[in-house]
Each structure stands twice: as C-alpha cells, then as structure tokens.
Structure 1
Amino acid sequence: MIQNISLGYQKVLSYLNGGGTRNVKAKKNILSSIFIKGASILMSLAMVPLTIEYVNPSRYGIWLTLSSIVGWFAFFDIGLTQGLRNKFAEAIAVGDAKQAKVYVSTTYAALVLIFFVVWVLFLITNSFLDWTEILKVDASMTSELSVLVIIVFTYFCLQFILKTVTSILTADQQPAKASFIELVGQFMALLSIYLLVATTEGSLINLGLALCISPILVLVLANYVLFNKKYKAYKPSISNIDFKHAKSLFQLGGKFFIIQIAAIVQYESANIIIARNFSTTDVTAFNIVYRYFGILNMAFAIFLTPFWSASTEAFMKNDLQWIKSSVKKYNYLNLILVLVGLVMLFFAQDIYNLWLGEGTLEIDFKLSLWGLIFFSIFLFGNTYVSFLNGISALRIQFWSSIISPFLYILVAIYLINELNLGVFALFVAALIANINGAILAPLQYYMIVVKNKKGFWLK
C-alpha cells in the first residue's frame, strides 16, 4: 500500500513538473488554489447564516446595500492596480527589475494620494447625508448608519492601497498566494463574527468593525513580509516614484478605470435598485442567489486566474498555439460547470434551507434560474476577456463599457417599473448589458488569435 501511495505521489509530481515553465506555474497554482478557494467558499457560506443570525435578514440587507454604495468609490483607483498587473508582468518577462520597481512605487504613491483626498472629502460630505433616507429605513438608525459608513469607507480606502501586493503576486503568476492572503483575512473576519454572536447583541457597528479590521491587519502584514523578503527588489520607495516615467502605466490604467466603473455600476447598483424598489430583505435574497451560483464563478476563477498573466507572456513570445489550446480547455470546463449549475438549481431551495435555516428566507425559483443563466454566460465571456486583458487589447472593451452601465440601469428600471418583473430583473438586465463578454470579446479573440489580425483588434 505504501508503495502504491509513493507511486501515486511520484505521478502527481511528474504531472506538476511536466511541460514548459508557464504550464508548470499554472498547474501548481491551480492545485494550490483548489484547496484555498475551497476553504474560501466554505467560509463564505458559513459567514452568511452567522451574520444573519447576528443582525437579522433586514439589517443584513442594510449592510449589503451600504457596502455596495461605498463600493462605488472603488473606481477612484483609476485602474492602476490592473495596469500595474500587466506592466509588472511585462517588465519581469524582459528582466527589467528597475522598471518593475518604478511601476510598484508609483502605483502605491498614486493610490495613497488619491484615496487620502477621497477619504477626507467623504468625511466632510458624510455629515450632510441622511443615510436612513437613502436606504429607506427607520430614522432611529441615523447615528448608527453614519458611524458604520465611516468604518466601511475607511476600510475600502485602505484595502485598495494595501491590496496592490496581491496584484503583484498575480502578475508574477502566483495567484494562489494572493488568494491565500485573502483567505486568512476572511478567516479572521469569520472568527470575529463568531465571537460577536457568542458575546454581544446584534449591532451593525460591531459587524462593520469585525468585517473590516481583520482583513486590513492581514494585508498590512502581507505587505511587510513580502516586500522585506520575496519582493525586496521591488519594495516601493519615494526615490523610485516617477509619474512621468510611468506614463504608460496610467494610460493603461485609464482604460481599466472605465472598464471597472462599468463593472461596479452593474454589480453594486443592483443592491441599491432592489432596496429602493423592493425591500432590504429582497437585497438579502438576491445576494444569497448571487453567492450560491457565484460558487461556479469561484471554481472557474481557480483555473482562469493564472491565464491573464500567462497570456501576457505567451503573446509576447508569439505562442498562439498555447493560447488556443488553453481557451479550448476553458470552454470545456465552462460546459462542465453549467451542468453542475443545473444540479445546483434543482436542489436550490433545499440547500438555501440547509444553509440559512428552515424558514429563514423563501427565494423565488425564477431568481435562482436567472442567477444560473447569468453566471453561465458570464463564465463563457470571462475566458476571452481575461486573454484580452492580459495582452492589453482594451479598446473595444473600453467603448462597450461606456455604454453597458447606462444600458444596464435603463433596462433594469424598465423591466421592474414597466413590465413589473421581480428581483430577477437585475440578472436579466445584466445579461442584456453584457455585450462585450457575450459577443465582442469572443469575436476579438477570434480575429487576433485565429485570423492573426492586428491593428484595430489589438488596440
């Protein structure tokens, strides 16, 4: 038996170390990510009922809606971390450590300046905002919500600066390590919520502190350790901040900036639209479905994440065959996940009851059905979008991203107010607005990789 185990172990090692350097990195990261993301999914699932138990479904909906509103401010990073991911990968690919350090230093400096100004302006503005009116909740919660929004906003600002280190890890084709950092932060937050449930009464302020402080402390530690060990050569410094020299970083970041706005509007505005047209309990129902079928996306991301930066390297070396082979494999994986999703849909309500507790929340089957349809099409387009992001072919995505947020909101409002559709209208609107992922990105990939076209398609 021991001999069989040893033989099996040797076969696994042989598989992991087989192929080129790019494939070896990808396989090792995928294997590590399976365990890390698996643990992350379990923690995410455990977090929801625990949090609802602590503050009840309605107040949990308030938390989700408030987080979504604050999440809109994510666009102030103007795509810098995504731009850094590509530029850092390119610099490392050609062995230019000095250029890579300039990109890292400049990105950190820009993010600190931007988010400090945004944070100060928000503190001033917050005193004039009535969050009970914005969220359509009881006026007695005025002071509680005012404090909570400051906690959440401060967390978002710090997170966007400190998470730059995870972009560097991903650019270096080590997404598993980036995911591990997030996992540790998630575990600390879960532990904090568990302690709150055991020792205190339900409080949105306590919830905000528990969910915000733990991940920040983990990110601070990660920055300190990585920049004093593995990435010491790229440790940010004032002397290496050079906005002029990093002009290309900001140009690329500007394109990602617009694309990020589109994504934020689509994802974050959903909770706000639901809260204002239905109820905060419906916000919770929508997010339960989103998290449930989002498991498919999390599973797909385990395999897809290395593809972005690996595409950067492969395309620079004109290894189109590797790209074609990879896309084909991702499409097969996408089909398998859709079949898994159909099984998930069949048992959806039973799992909701098991997950949240019998009778906690009744979720319309149509909401679950459209959640599955949305994620199935989203996963298909994600493969092509990831490749195009990796080679910085963003112009088509850039222009479609300018249109899609307006299309999404208009369609959602029309479906709700004119056709009287339920909460699932948000998934339908997202599908209609997803022009780039469903149609344009696959077409652009085909023209670049299969037809070997350049010019318009590569910009």
Structure 2
Amino acid sequence: MGLIKTVYNQFIVKSYKNNLGKDVIISIIARGVNTLLSLILLSFSLKVLSPNDYGVWLTVSALYSWVTLFDFGAQNTLRNVLAIDLSSKNENNMRGTILTNSFAFTLLISVIFLILSTVLFNVCDFSTLLKIKHGNKTDINNLVFISLIIFGIKLFSNNYNTILTALQKAYMAIVISVISSLCTIIILVLAYTLKQDISILNYGLAVLVTDVVFSFLLPIIYLRQMKFKYNFSLRLLNYNYFKKNLLGNNIKFFILSSLVVLTFFSTNLFIGIILSYEDVAVYNLVNKYFNIITLFSIVALNPIWTKVAMYYGTNNYLEINRLLKKTQLYFLFFILFGLTLLLFDTRFYSFFGHDKIIVGRYVSTVAMLSMLQLFYNNIYAYFLNGMNAIFIQIIGFVIAAIIIYPCYYYFCHYLQMGVLGAFLVQIIVYIPNTVMFPIFLKRQLK
C-alpha cells in the first residue's frame, strides 16, 4: 500500500498540475476504455471467425508494422523537432518549415507505396507467400491488397497524430481510436445481425475502412478547433533544411524502426509459417491480455518522450533526471499490476476466447515477464529517443534481430515448445537491451 500511495502522490497528484500529468492521466483513462473495446472486438471476432481465419487476419493486420517503415523514421523525427520548436519562446519559430517539409516527404512516399502495392497485387499471390493453406484465396488476396492501400494512406495521416503528441495532446489520438473501435464493433454487430456469416474479407473491410476514416478526419477537426496554425506553403519547401534537420534523424530512426519491426512485429508471420495460424490466434489472445501492461505504459511514456525532447532542447538535465525517477516508480507499480493480471488469466481466456482456445499457466507467466521486461526497456528507450541518442538502441536491436529467428525456430519448432517458446524467446533476445539501455542513459545524463 505504501508503494501505491507513493506512486499516486508523486506521479499522479503532483504531475496533474502540469500538462504532462494531465496528458498521462487522460490517456490512461482513454486507453482503458479502448482496451476494453479491443477485448470486446477480440471476443466477437472469435465468435464470427474460425481461429484459423482470425489468425490469418491478425497476420495481415500486422503487416501495418512493416508498412510504417516506409516513412523512414519521419514521424519520430517530426515529434522531436516540432516539440523543441514549440517549446521555444521565439516568435519566429520554424513550425511552417518543419510541417511543410515533413508532410511533403510523407505524401511522396505514400504515393510511391500505393503504386508499389498495386504492382504487387497484379504479380503476386499473397496467400501463397504467407503459406495460408485454408480459406478463400481470392478473398485473402483482396484483403491484403486493400490493407496495403489503407496502410499507405495512414503513412500520411499519421502526421496529424504526431502533431497531437508534440502538443502534449497524445490522449486525443487514443480518444480517436476509442471512437473508431466503438464504430467498428457497431458495424460488425449490425452486419452479423443482418447476415450471420461474415467472411474474412468483409470483416477486414469493416475494421480497416472505419479506422482510416476516423484516424484521418478527427485529428484534423480537433487541430482546427485548437486553432493550431499549420502554416503550409510551397515556398517553405527547402531541401537543405530537410537534409540538415530532418533527414539525418529520419535515417537513424528508420534503422531503429526497421530493427524493432523485425524483432517485435514479425511474430505472427513466423508462428503462422512454422506452426499454424491457429497458434497465431492463441499467441495473440495471451498477448492481448498481458499487453495491457505495455499499452498503459506507452500511454505514459509517449508524452514523457515529448517532455524529454523539450528539456533536452534547453539542456535541462536536472528535470530529465527528476522525470526518470518518477517513471521508475511507475514501473514498480506495474509489477504489482502484472501479478494481478496473472491471477485472472484463465477466466479471461475462457470468457473472451469462447473456450475455443486453451492456454497453460506457464505460457501466461512467461508472457507476463516478457511484457514487464518490455516496459522496463521502453522507459530508457523513450528517454534516449527524446535525446536523439538512439545509437545504443540500434546495437541492441541488431543483436536481437540476428538471434531472434534462429531462437524462434529452435524453441518453437525444434524443441516443440510452441507459443510458450515464442514468449520465452522474446525475453532472451532483449536481455542485452535490459542491461545496456540504463547504463547508456546514465552516461548521457552525467
């Protein structure tokens, strides 16, 4: 109880007096609602789709993580540069130049990606590439193509959510996600009521179209209500400025993002290929439950990243150290939260999985430890991101990217550990990050 009281007083009560604390608290509430809606959607999905079809959908939707690589780190760079500019008291800020060049770059790569997606659709059989043995191949190919088109549009629309984060309004991105999730559930329930059989293609269309419409329009509407001035102008396009202030950081963040995707977001694809797409459904049910830890932690860390960037821009290392201590207290609280989740895991699987999926206690325990380790690593990674000190992260993720796939094959396939092996591998490959990140951050703050 003493620990909980300390966290509450230091991180919640005192923090709420500034914009950062308000952003964190509102984000946590919004994320809680959004997590509940995602669980309802998961439960409904397993009701209308077979575990195999749901596993296929999860694998296709996970391709978005690969698509985000095509922004070449632009969103992370925009967040840092814009946050520093907004913290400046200089009236002659560079906001217009920053936004014009960033938007122009992401628009260009979005158009290129859409063209490439169209070409791939006409020359590739996606169902064969993904080794999907069951289901309608035409529907699956169409679903992958539509997904790629919508993901390409989101490459550009993500700029607006990045602006909200730089303005310390990250919670609005989550609120928008809540609205999108709620509308998606309503549409699917109505479709199921009118027509009991929902194909994987129609299911995917409902989720994807709703998401892209809301993620594009609502941030624009909110920013206009805030009277945020974009100051877009073709005369502000400046290649020299882009090359000097944006491109260099873009490349660093692109390398880091590529490594993160290779290690974090390829699990669905790998499990589907070497095990089965039903195992993908099992993995994601467990991951969805314990990922609550990660979701709530990222809610807090996103605005902290922005705040660190602002402090770093003014060389205020004292405030960065104070913020780090508060965040470390927050992690201790989540250890207790993780143990609490472990007590109710079987009830969760039974209720939301409709008893279609059986999960062992060892799988849940290792999954919980994996998520806590991820949260711990993210604390230091986000602080380093805010200081543009990402070289050590690149080293850590290079190590992980090299060993993760041999480890997956060895533990999941050779030792026949299945989904348990997947979670165990995720702990093993990130041990170097767990050791290196805190040491490097401490050196940066000296």
Same fold (TM over 0.5): yes
Q: Does 1:49 align with 2:57?
A: no
Q: In structure 1, what is the equivalent of residue 5 of structure 2?
A: none
Q: In structure 1, what is the equivalent of residue 214 of structure 2?
A: 218
Q: Does 1:176 align with 2:171?
A: yes
Separation in 1, partners of 2:200, 2:387: 43
SS at match of 1:360: coil
Separation in 1, partners of 2:233, 2:220: 13
C-alpha spacing 1:139/1:84, structure 2 compared with 1 (3 Å):
same
Q: In structure 1, what is the equivalent of residue 121 of structure 2?
A: 126
CA drift at 1:433: 2.3
Q: Does 1:26 align with 2:20?
A: yes
SS at match of 2:136: helix
Among candidates 247, 251, 264, match of residue 250 of structure 1:
247
Q: In structure 2, what is the equivalent of residue 337 of structure 1?
A: 334
CA drift at 1:397: 1.5
SS at match of 1:246: helix
Q: Does 1:265 align with 2:262?
A: yes
User: Does the aligned pair in 2 maintain the 1:271–1:283 contact within 8 Å?
Assistant: yes
C-alpha spacing 1:238/1:435, structure 2 compared with 1 (3 Å):
farther
CA drift at 1:439: 1.6
Q: Which moved more, 1:237-246 or 1:213-222?
A: 237-246
Separation in 2, partners of 1:227, 1:236: 14
Opposite residue 85 of structure 1, the aligned amino acid is R
User: Does the aligned pair in 1 maintain the 2:20–2:303 contact within 8 Å?
Assistant: yes
Q: In structure 1, what is the equivalent of residue 31 of structure 2?
A: 37
Q: Which moved more, 1:27-36 or 1:416-425?
A: 416-425
Separation in 2, partners of 1:109, 1:318: 30
Q: In structure 1, what is the equivalent of residue 370 of structure 2?
A: 374
SS at match of 2:94: helix
Cα offsets for 1:177-196 (capped at 9, x unmatched):
22222222222222222222
Separation in 1, partners of 2:26, 2:318: 26
User: RCO (CA 8 Å, sep 6+): is it higher in 1 or 2?
Assistant: 2
Opposite residue 183 of structure 1, the aligned amino acid is V
CA drift at 1:338: 1.6
CA drift at 1:226: 4.3
C-alpha spacing 1:413/1:84, structure 2 compared with 1 (3 Å):
same
User: Does the aligned pair in 2 maintain the 1:308–1:389 contact within 8 Å?
Assistant: yes
Opposite residue 251 of structure 1, the aligned amino acid is G
Separation in 2, partners of 1:348, 1:18: 33
- 1:385-404 equivalences under 5 Å are 385-404=381-400
Q: Which moved more, 1:131-140 or 1:163-172?
A: 131-140
Q: Which moved more, 1:423-432 or 1:103-112?
A: 423-432
Among candidates 302, 305, 308, match of residue 305 of structure 1:
302
CA drift at 1:446: 1.1
Identity among equivalent pairs (%):
23
Q: In structure 2, what is the equivalent of residue 457 of structure 1?
A: none
CA drift at 1:411: 1.7
Opposite residue 314 of structure 1, the aligned amino acid is Y
Q: In structure 2, what is the equivalent of residue 75 of structure 1?
A: 69
Opposite residue 209 of structure 1, the aligned amino acid is L
RMSD of aligned residue pairs (Cα, Å): 2.3
Separation in 1, partners of 2:215, 2:135: 35
Cα offsets for 1:127-171 (capped at 9, x unmatched):
332233233334661111111111111111111210211111111
Q: In structure 2, what is the equivalent of residue 203 of structure 1?
A: 199
Q: In structure 2, what is the equivalent of residue 318 of structure 1?
A: 315
User: Does the aligned pair in 1 maintain the 2:184–2:210 contact within 8 Å?
Assistant: yes
- 1:404-419 equivalences under 5 Å are 404-419=400-415
CA drift at 1:306: 1.5
Q: In structure 1, what is the equivalent of residue 275 of structure 2?
A: 278
- 1:21-170 equivalences under 5 Å are 24-95=18-89, 98-138=93-133, 141-170=136-165
Cα offsets for 1:394-448 (capped at 9, x unmatched):
1221233333222211221222343332212222222222256412211111112
Opposite residue 28 of structure 2, the aligned amino acid is I
CA drift at 1:213: 1.0
C-alpha spacing 1:202/1:363, structure 2 compared with 1 (3 Å):
same
CA drift at 1:50: 0.8
Opposite residue 371 of structure 2, the aligned amino acid is F
CA drift at 1:273: 1.2
Separation in 1, partners of 2:105, 2:389: 24
Q: In structure 2, what is the equivalent of residue 289 of structure 1?
A: 286
Opposite residue 429 of structure 1, the aligned amino acid is V
CA drift at 1:98: 4.6
CA drift at 1:286: 0.4
Opposite residue 157 of structure 1, the aligned amino acid is G
Separation in 2, partners of 1:81, 1:243: 18
Separation in 1, partners of 2:227, 2:215: 15
C-alpha spacing 1:382/1:140, structure 2 compared with 1 (3 Å):
closer
Q: Does 1:230 align with 2:230?
A: no
Separation in 2, partners of 1:360, 1:54: 12
Q: Which moved more, 1:283-292 or 1:300-309?
A: 300-309
Separation in 2, partners of 1:239, 1:435: 48
CA drift at 1:325: 2.5
Separation in 2, partners of 1:229, 1:427: 44
C-alpha spacing 1:16/1:328, structure 2 compared with 1 (3 Å):
closer
Report the TM-score, using the length of structure 1 for normalisation. Answer: 0.88
Separation in 2, partners of 1:56, 1:214: 22
Separation in 2, partners of 1:235, 1:52: 46
User: Does the aligned pair in 2 maintain the 1:385–1:437 contact within 8 Å?
Assistant: no
C-alpha spacing 1:316/1:89, structure 2 compared with 1 (3 Å):
same
CA drift at 1:54: 1.7
User: Does the aligned pair in 2 maintain the 1:378–1:437 contact within 8 Å?
Assistant: no
User: Does the aligned pair in 2 maintain the 1:67–1:152 contact within 8 Å?
Assistant: yes
User: Does the aligned pair in 2 maintain the 1:85–1:168 contact within 8 Å?
Assistant: yes
* Unaligned runs of at least 5 residues, structure 2: 1-7
Separation in 2, partners of 1:259, 1:270: 18
Separation in 2, partners of 1:378, 1:47: 25
Report the TM-score, using the length of structure 2 for normalisation. Answer: 0.91
